[in-house]
DNA sequence: CAGGATCCTGGCGGATACTG
DNA sequence: CAGTATCCGCCAGGATCCTG
């Protein structure tokens, strides 16, 4: 790193970081499950069919590091860990809902266009 | 494909497709450049510093196939091709702006949390 | 000018096995 | 229960060269 990068996408606009955050395959799904309250690791795992435990752990850790999710460990045997949205994380729910609404309203048009593009 | 996939993320919720669409590194940036009107290939290329010509072509083709962008070829020499947002594409601007607003308002908190997570 | 075709690499993410 | 550790396939995406 002799010189600063001429092009650092993370400095172009702050929304780039957000898009990286929510663009991955699991983040939004996990946030969705936590919308109604705290859940345990195994509960999230069961709610999101198809997620590997590696990716669940990894994404939860990342969400925690970003301050979007709070992780609470109850010192019991067997272990009991709960995850819940932080105040910051909850502020993200509304933008995501708006995005979801757009998808519900327009993704059939996208699907139609895509199908037409093939024919 | 002897049996249908038990877990097809594309059927879980329509917003998954949208997130795949806008989650990649270039889609939103390209849509952003087209917000104020049609542009030529080389103009977009110059506005988005760091994009390879392969990814620009590929993403534009994909946006066109999804009906979000309209591609117009003017039969001239040298070639003249313009890209602009479709009506459908323009409806996506508002949700994206809301997301961008969230990023502007809160990404510093995320950055702070992330920094604290390291120490 | 606006791409098409190729080669190549990093790292996302799945599978599996093991642990306190 | 809630993870950690390891191996590995796949492909998004960059670099490069070529063309109508």
Work out the average pLDDT over A70-93: 97
Measured CA distances, B78 to B14, B54, B82 (Å): 41, 20, 13
User: What pLDDT digit, counting tens, does each position of A2-53 carry?
Assistant: 333 334 444 557 788 898 899 898 999 999 999 999 999 999 999 998 899 9
Q: Coil, strand or helix: which one is B73?
A: strand
Min Cα separation B78/chain A (Å):
26
User: What residues approach strand D to within 7 A at the CB?
Assistant: A 40-43, 53-54, 57, 60-61, 71, 78-82; B 24-26, 50-55, 78-79
Q: Do B103 and A18 touch (CB under 8 A)?
A: yes
What is the spatial order of strands in the sheet that B80-85 belongs to? B39-40, B80-85, B69-74
Distance B92 CA to C20 C1' (A): 49
Residue B106 touches partner A, C-beta closer than 8 Å? yes
Q: Which residues pair with A45 in a beta bridge?
A: none
Work out the average pLDDT over A54-65: 97
**DSSP assignment of B79-100:** -EEEEEE-HHHHHTHHHHHHHH
Please tell me whether the peptide bond between A78 and the residue prior to it is cis, using omega within 30 degrees of 0.
yes
What is the spatial order of strands in the sheet that A80-85 belongs to? A39-40, A80-85, A69-74
**First-residue to last-residue Cα distance in chain B:** 49
B64 Cβ neighbours under 8 A, 6+ residues apart: A117, B70, B71, B83
CB A22 within 8 A of CB A28: yes
Q: Do B15 and A103 touch (CB under 8 A)?
A: yes
Domain limits, chain A: 14-118
Residue B50 touches partner A, C-beta closer than 8 Å? yes
Q: Do B95 and A102 touch (CB under 8 A)?
A: yes
Nearest to B12 by CA among A48, A107, A37: A48
pLDDT at B4 exceeding the cut of 50: no
* pTM greater than 0.95: no
- Measured distance CA(A66)–CA(A86) in Å, rounded: 10
- What pLDDT was estimated at residue B23? 86
Chain B residues within an 8 Å CB radius of A106: 88, 91-92
Nearest to B64 by CA among B93, B85, B36, B95: B85
- Measured distance CA(B57)–CA(B111) in Å, rounded: 33
* Max Cα distance, chain B (Å): 60
User: What pLDDT digit, counting tens, does each position of B57-98 carry?
Assistant: 999 999 999 999 999 999 999 999 999 999 999 999 999 999
- What pLDDT was estimated at residue B12? 52
* Max Cα distance, chain A (Å): 60
- Measured distance CA(B119)–CA(B113) in Å, rounded: 10
Q: Do B67 and A98 touch (CB under 8 A)?
A: no
* A14-118 has CATH 1.10.10.10 classification: yes
């Amino acid at each position: 790193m002799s010189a600063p990068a001429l092009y650092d996408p993370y400095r172009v606009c702050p929304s780039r970081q957000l898009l990286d955050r929510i663009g991955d395959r699991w983040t939004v799904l996990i946030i969705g499950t936590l919308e109604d309250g705290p859940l345990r690791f195994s509960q999230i795992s069961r709610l999101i069919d198809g997620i590997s435990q590696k990716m669940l752990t990894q994404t939860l850790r990342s969400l925690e590091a970003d301050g979007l999710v709070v992780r609470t460990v109850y010192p019991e045997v067997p272990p009991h860990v709960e995850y819940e949205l932080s105040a910051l994380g909850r502020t993200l729910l509304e933008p995501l809902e708006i995005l979801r609404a757009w998808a519900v309203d327009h993704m059939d048009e996208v699907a139609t266009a895509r199908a037409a593009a093939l024919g």
